[in-house]
Amino acid sequence: MVNVAILGFGTVGSGVAEVLTGHEDSISRKVDDFVRLKYILDVRDFPDSPYAGCFVKDFSVIESDPEVDVVVETIGGATVALDFTRRALKAGKSVVTSNKELVAEYGYELLMLAKEYNVNYLFEASVGGGIPIIHPLSQCLAANNILEIYGILNGTTNYILTRMIRAGLSFDTALKEAQERGYAERDPSADTEGHDACRKICILAAIAFGRHIYPRQVPTEGITRITLADVDYADAAGRKIKLLGRAIRQEDGRICAYVAPHLVNNENPLAGVEDVFNGITVRGDAIGDVMFYGRGAGKLPTASAVVADVIDAAKHIGSRKLMDWAPGGEDTTRSPDTLRSRWYVRASCTNDMMRAMLGDVLPLARRGAAENEAACITADEMTRTQLGIRLQNIPVLSVIRVLD
């Protein structure tokens, strides 16, 4: 018998309980042992819940019960969740989580702790919701040197951008719609400012490149400054504006990691990733590009990823999955300002002025453009710093990196 405790009975936690008990037979068959939900930790009371007999309010009940093999942490944040995760690992229990904040900030420490106590710390659900990405990246692509990983990592912002592109809504209106549909929080800044995507690219980069990358090392720009004018010009260029998290291995071994909007070519499969869906592309030296696509959030998709990890943990009790990375440091990353690319530029000037500053460009047009407005994509690749120098005498309205 494998006993499971869930910490936190919110959306994900209740989804985990539902998937775990609803698929009891097939899960037990896969583990080759009976998997039982023994405890749910929550401060609230749920007298009418079908799991009413499982609830406890004191973590030490779980911590001190030697029968508990796997702890599922769906509390979120990096305070109580950190404390409970440390204590669970030290008590010899494997921990499974969907908590991206905790993994992005404390992943290295917690993986080392898991190693020390010969248990596993698994977090497939922390990136891409239900999409299998952590596991394929660490195992199925093990025969590759990963060159780059990038993707649409946040469903809320992708929904907003999709509505701007397809329905012509402004950012504010699209955000409001996303809030009404439950896709965005009342305070949407963690999504719209890119922080959620930032945590996820940190986790992906650590697995792909083998060193911890902290969110504070990853320059992060959200989508709040994207306008319908930009959306229209991108469309004229056969491209879509997408918020991407990106991590690229540089020749010196450092990682260039950042979050920013990009103009993505319509022929790139990521351009077709719409609404709340996520898409993540991995570029390996042997495999070329592979993309993983699916629902990046939601109760049951996320629970599905958590429970897959529970199954994995249950199959590996007393043995270790080889998943870890080296500690972080100030020498691991490199600023994206040094990364060359083409650029989309919109400014209050004429096409001639744009050309005078930027040299050869692809001029873009849109219906209803303001009189003194020009937009283009540069013909040459250059760094953000080089671009800034060329643009210093132009009243710039938007600058967005082009993904080629």
The contact set with a second copy (CB under 8 A) reads: 19-20, 23, 26-27, 30, 32, 124, 130-132, 135-136, 139-145, 267, 269, 272-274, 284-295, 298, 300-301, 303-308, 310-312, 315, 322
**Quick one: tokens of 375?**
């937009």
CB of 344 closer than 8 Å to CB of 226: no
CB of residue 273 to a second copy, shortest distance in Å: 7
- Of the two residues 232 and 312, which places its CB atom closer to a second copy in the complex? 312
CA distances from 195 to 126, 203, 216, 298, 307 (A): 14, 13, 10, 18, 26
- Residue closer to a second copy (CB basis): 43 or 322: 322
Q: Residue 130 or residue 245: which is nearer to a second copy going by CB?
A: 130
Place of tokens 């944040």: 77
Closest CB to a second copy among 138 and 341? 138
Query: Would you give the distance in Å from CA 175 to the centre of its chain?
Result: 19
| Angstrom distance (rounded) from CA 263 to CA 20 | 41
* CA–CA gap between residue 25 and residue 393 (Å, rounded): 68
Catalytic residue among 38, 200, 240, 321: 200
State the minimum distance, in angstroms, from the CB of residue 391 to a second copy. 34
Whole-number minimum distance, CB 211 to a second copy, in Å? Answer: 14
Q: What is the DSSP string of 264-288?
A: EETTSGGGG--TTEEEEEEEETTTE
CB of 33 to a second copy, least distance (A): 11
* Cβ-based nearer residue to a second copy, 19 or 223: 19
Tell me if 198 sits within 8 A of 243, measured CB to CB: no
In sign, the C-alpha dihedral spanning 16, 21, 26, 30 is positive
CB of 355 to a second copy, least distance (A): 32
200 is catalytic: yes
Give catalytic residues, as residue numbers. 200
